[in-house]
Structure 1
Amino acid sequence: MASSLALAVSACGGGGETAKPQDNGGATPATPATTQPEAQPAASGDPQKLVIYTGRDKNIFEIVLPKFKEKYPNIEVETLEMGAQQILERVRAEKANPQADFWWGGTQSALATAANEDLLEPYKPTFSDKVPDLYKDKQDRWYGEMLLPEVIMINPQAIKKEDAPKDWDELLDPKYKGKIVIRNVLPSGTMRTIYSAMIFRQGADTPDKGYDWLKKLDANTKEYTQDPTNLYLKLDRQEGAISLWNLQDVLLQSKKNNHPFDFVYPASGAPILVDGVALVKGAKNMDAAKKFYEVLFSPEVASVLAKDRFQFPSRTDISKDDLPDFMKNLELKPLQLDWDVMASKEKEWMQYWDENIKGKGGK
């Protein structure tokens, strides 16, 4: 179904993960490009088209897309929702015949992998110098749109905040056994980043210590839910009291969707996931994609998303007056990570976790 705000395939992504069914996370091959209708460049004078593969949610679309349509009414936008890992698999499968123009909502690891596989088109946007080097590709193949600190998520009705874990290692305390519920890891950019970070901090050269850490966490984990919706439901029902999640979505679910959620910012620091964007190499609607790039990162849109959707913008020139109070005062202490190593090792680490650790920590 195609329309200016078409929502075709629903699945889980990185930031703002809400009410999305599970994607395959790369467990099965993405649909080959030959089975999909081939996108064609717009002829001169015809309405332009823009195809976006996205890990973002409808609550973000309803802010951004109308602003884009207001500025460019002649561009028809089609969005297909899926998880960050699934986007990578699909763009990879379609390399010879790209069907997407713009990748909106990808983890740093997924985008770096795509860049290294020559799947992304370099583009230096007008705001390039406003985004720190830490949050963009050196060759301008992707840019971080927002920062997603990964935190300890709790239901304070099920566990008092003062009794909740204050840092990552406290999650392994036996007193939390059966109180932790985790969103299924492999399809989720958020969870893959958290778990990879936990391995890295124990020593990336010899991941055995990291695997042991995850095995202890698995022993305390009551359940892995298939998608974010089920994660929220388990916490709502107090079938679990603790989880690991991105800060933006914790705030969004508690302040906008009335879930009884709160967070603990880990004392040693948080993996700060860069949720980014990129142009697909060989895109058939490159001009429209570049226009969307600029609108998405505009100070106007960034400030609205910060206030209404709790997004931490990557741009450093957004006025503090245009940010919500909690964002002005919260220190985003980063966990020290080598993101290049994380990108190169993530697939190996997560496959090992899935095959050798998941559901076996208590055995």
Structure 2
Amino acid sequence: MKKILGKILIASLIFTLTACGSKESKEVAKTQNQEQKLVIYSTHPENLIEAVASEFQKETGIEVDYINLKGALADRVLAEKDAPQADIMYGGASSLFIDLSKKDVFEKTNPSWAKDLNPLFKDPNGTWYGTIQTPVVIFYNSEMLSSNEAPKDWSDLIKPEYKNKLVFRDARSFSAKATYSSLLYQYEKEGNLSQGWEFMKSLDSNTKQYYGSGSLQFQAVGRKEAPISFAVLSSVIVNKEKGLPLEIVDAKSGSPVITDAIAVIKNAKHKDAAIKFLEFAGSEKIQSELAIKFNRMPTLDSALANSPEWMKESKYRVMDVDWRVLSENESDWMQKWDSEIKSNN
């Protein structure tokens, strides 16, 4: 009887251990399976995301799903804060990332390439990192204005001689929104915001037309409807290479430099995969590839050295902008600009 009981106990123990082992194996397999997937929310053009995602999947075997959310990106990430549906936020101005960081949306991370970034391009607390820098510059049609006649700074744009000689993007453009807010900040930091609004009124008064797309904006300058505008540097270079007679102004007060960033979303379902993607997407290799294939200027100096010549040779002053202040005020400022300042020209 004792022998029989002993055999039963041993069999029972073996079954229990086997069951536990099987359960643990399934849990491990489940976790490993989960980490073979990654979900990205982005503002980048789909061909750019596709290129980075495909290369990452090829290198790691991790399946990548991505959704291009454009202007709805920050709202979507914030709405899903308590139950994140994405692992990575990839793209968008640093002001968005600063605002979301205050709301505890991102994980603190430390990719190996972060140590080589200028402080301008990263969060001091390690929640987001810049992978692309985007200067916004004044440019003009050199067949309509000589260099002596062209403006030398943003403050010149309200002079009487430039009446109806300006065409701009409206504030639906992230670059226009950041630029208008950066100009207002120059007055805000001196405690003269009301004077800043007067400047914006004068700027609007000199503006002939606002456009909802960059292509229409450049076409207007090319057709000589007006000689002066502003845009991201890469777009000016591309249109200049297409044959438009454009010259860039190195503004005395500097050009706003928008930092396009990336972050791991807090409590992401696929955190390990997200950290791997963060390391990959900001690397010198990928920054260089995006510079060559998509005209995106790197934040890493080492990647800049392997970029197209125009990026290496670009010399411009950087406008003094506290992007933390912009993250707090940009929405209100642009609402006022759109409803009270901008005319319907």
Query: TM-score, normalised on structure 1?
Result: 0.78
Cα distance change, pair 349–286 in 1 and its aligned pair in 2 (3 A) = same
Tell me the equivalent position of 1:356. 340
Tell me the equivalent position of 1:315. 300
Q: Deviation of residue 137 (structure 1)?
A: 0.6
Tell me the equivalent position of 2:232. 246
Pair member with larger Rg:
2
Instruction: Return the alpha-carbon distance in structure 2 between the equivalents of residues 161 and 132 of structure 1.
Output: 33
Of 258-267 and 127-136, the range deviating more from structure 2: 258-267
Match of 2:41 among 40, 43, 53: 53
Q: Where do 1:1-363 residues align within 5 Å?
A: 44-45=32-33, 48-61=36-49, 63-83=51-71, 86-157=72-143, 159-160=145-146, 163-185=149-171, 187-204=172-189, 205-255=191-241, 261-318=246-303, 320=305, 322-359=306-343
CA contact (8 A) 1:53 1:82 kept: no
Instruction: Return the alpha-carbon distance in structure 2 between the equivalents of residues 122 and 292 of structure 1.
Output: 15
CA contact (8 A) 1:47 1:75 kept: no
Q: Deviation of residue 112 (structure 1)?
A: 0.4
Percent identity for Structure 1 against Structure 2: 32
CA contact (8 A) 1:178 1:222 kept: yes
Cα distance change, pair 223–77 in 1 and its aligned pair in 2 (3 A) = same
Instruction: Return the alpha-carbon distance in structure 2 between the equivalents of residues 240 and 266 of structure 1.
Output: 19
**Could you tell me which amino acid in structure 1 is paired with residue 310 of structure 2?**
F
Cα distance change, pair 153–292 in 1 and its aligned pair in 2 (3 A) = farther
Instruction: Return the alpha-carbon distance in structure 1 between the equivalents of residues 186 and 269 of structure 2.
Output: 41
Unaligned runs of 5+ in 1: 1-41
CA contact (8 A) 2:35 2:62 kept: yes
Give the secondary structure class of the aligned counterpart of 2:192: coil
Unaligned runs of 5+ in 2: 1-29
Cα distance change, pair 292–253 in 1 and its aligned pair in 2 (3 A) = farther
CA contact (8 A) 1:75 1:288 kept: no
Give the secondary structure class of the aligned counterpart of 1:127: helix
Cα distance change, pair 78–238 in 1 and its aligned pair in 2 (3 A) = same
Instruction: Return the alpha-carbon distance in structure 1 between the equivalents of residues 34 and 125 of structure 2.
Output: 33
Cα distance change, pair 309–158 in 1 and its aligned pair in 2 (3 A) = farther
Cα distance change, pair 237–114 in 1 and its aligned pair in 2 (3 A) = same
Instruction: Return the alpha-carbon distance in structure 1 between the equivalents of residues 42 and 112 of structure 2.
Output: 22
CA contact (8 A) 2:44 2:91 kept: yes
Alignment RMSD (CA, Å): 2.6
